Amino acid sequence: MTAQLIFALTLLLTLGVFAFTMRRIFINFRYTKKKALHNIPARLRETFKVAIAQEKIFRHPVMGLLHALVFWGFIVILFGSIEMVIDGLFGTERVFGFMGWFYNFLMASGDIFAAIIALAILVFLFRRLFLHVKRFYGPEMKPVSKADANLALSFILFLMLSLLGMNTFYLLEMHNEGHAFVGVYPVSQSLADLFAGMNDGSIIFWHNFNWWFHILLIFVFANVLPYSKHFHVFMSVPNVFVSRIEPLGKVDNMDNITKEVKLMLDPSAPMDSGAEEPIEKFGVSDANDVNWVNYMNALSCTECGRCTAVCPANITGKLLSPRKIMMDVRARMKEKSDGLIREGANFDDGKSLIGDYISEEELWACTMCNACAQECPININQPSLILDMRRYLVLEQSKAPSGLNTAFANIENNGAPWQFSPEDRMNWAEELYLNEK
């Protein structure tokens, strides 16, 4: 009974801390812009392909397979974690054992996946510590980012080792007590042979130790994740669901400007009688100007660097790093969050996303090729955010590279981006020899 009370208090503390953290994050969404979702069936299909089937991660076949196995393994092992919570609260042992063959299948799968995940994590740690993969580095990747990755991988490794340890000593304890064990554990059964000579007291101790170590590690890890780049453990699946389902090359028009252009082309067009909210700002200059999907993208970014690795601007030595754009949005919202909560959307701390975090040079280096969005394994759309920041620079600050300013002036004066009079537009065809009929 004492153990159950301790477990209940620990669970309550874990849920309380997690709820406090998530409440803060959800409050931040209130200060972002609205964006409607549509075509739910298509979104569900995209979620299954990209998030569940891990379709895009297999562009790197070997490491992609390892990552997919880790993801699928966590889904299977989640069942055992839920069982542990129930056992801890009610003092039961393997409470879902009544499910028979299905329980055996899940336990066997979880046992095998625990070993696979442990091996995969060792490979990931080896790559990070010794192989110096280029995409793991960059000016935006500070020492804390590398330590964060290593810490999260270490958490996962110890979770898997403690799970295998718990299963191993459970089998030994049941055998020594003459009881039939519940479930099937292929890997742990093999490991149990290595510890068969231990005395009963040691076996019971190590079973309890691994059980408590595993569940407490889950509780701690769950509360560390929201402060880590590995928050994508929670955010990646919903992020894919809300991600762009239109072709990547499609550019969303600004409705208010579209209406103005239509009125210019056809002044007799009927005006929309519905009352409209005043436009406070064109584009994005700060973290609370982004729409909520962009902010979810930033929270979901795992800083893997696949986007930056394929960015033609970054490859040719320009400052732009799509990964840094998402990291900066997340960092800026975190910095500004306290003031927004305290004073509301009008809070101004004298800083902004553009200028203090992201330079104009970075934004104008983007070719809008969408390679980063195409490569991202969880469908983050960096170009849409970059475009909105460019819109702010042009529409609010009248800032653009000289080449674009020339094109803008030509469009205004000549109706085309070239410096030719509209009357001379067909001069190129004068020397063509056309067969007359």
Per-residue CA distances from 335 to 19, 195, 341 (Å): 20, 51, 11
Residue 11: pLDDT above 70? yes
> 27 — phi, psi (to 5°)?
-60, -40
Which residue carries 């003031």 as its tokens? 339
Compute CA 423 distance to the chain's CA centroid, rounded to the nearest angstrom: 52
Residue 185: pLDDT above 90? yes
Structure tokens at 80: 């055992």
Question: For the segment 414-424, what is each residue's pLDDT rounded down to a tens digit?
Answer: 888 888 888 88
Whether the CB-CB separation of 211 and 84 falls below 8 Å is answered with yes
CA terminus-to-terminus distance, the chain: 101
What is residue 389's predicted lDDT score, i.e. its pLDDT?
96
| Residues in contact with 151: Cβ distance below 8 Å, sequence separation at least 6, in sequence order | 224, 228
Q: Which residues pair with 33 in a beta bridge?
A: 291
Torsion over CA of 137, 139, 140 and 144, rounded to 10 degrees? 70
Phi-psi label, residue 302: left if phi above 0, alpha if psi -120 to 50, beta otherwise: alpha
Residue 433: pLDDT above 70? no
For the ranges 55-69, 165-179, 240-254, 413-427, the lowest mean pLDDT is seen at: 413-427
Question: For the segment 121-179, what is each residue's pLDDT rounded down to a tens digit?
Answer: 999 999 999 988 989 999 999 999 889 999 999 999 999 999 999 999 999 999 988 88
Q: Name which of 437, 364, 373, 372 is nearest 405 in CA terms.
A: 364
Whether the CB-CB separation of 226 and 149 falls below 8 Å is answered with no
Query: Which domains are seen in the chain, by residue range?
Result: 2-242 (1.20.950), 255-269+277-414 (1.10.1060)
Instruction: Quickly count: other Cβ atoms within 10 Å of residue 421's Cβ.
Output: 12
| Residues in contact with 125: Cβ distance below 8 Å, sequence separation at least 6, in sequence order | 150, 153, 154, 157
Alpha-helical runs (H) found in 301-370: 306-310, 312-315, 322-343, 353-356, 360-365
Averaged pLDDT, 11-25: 95
What is residue 103's predicted lDDT score, i.e. its pLDDT?
95
Residue 273: pLDDT above 60? no
| Length, in residues, of the chain | 437
What is residue 271's predicted lDDT score, i.e. its pLDDT?
62
What is residue 272's predicted lDDT score, i.e. its pLDDT?
60
Averaged pLDDT, 399-423: 85
DSSP per-residue letters across 206-222: HHHHHHHHHHHHHHHHH
Distance CA 390, CA 328 (A): 16
Per-chain mean pLDDT for the chain = 91
**pTM, entire model:** 0.88
Distance CA 196, CA 209 (A): 18
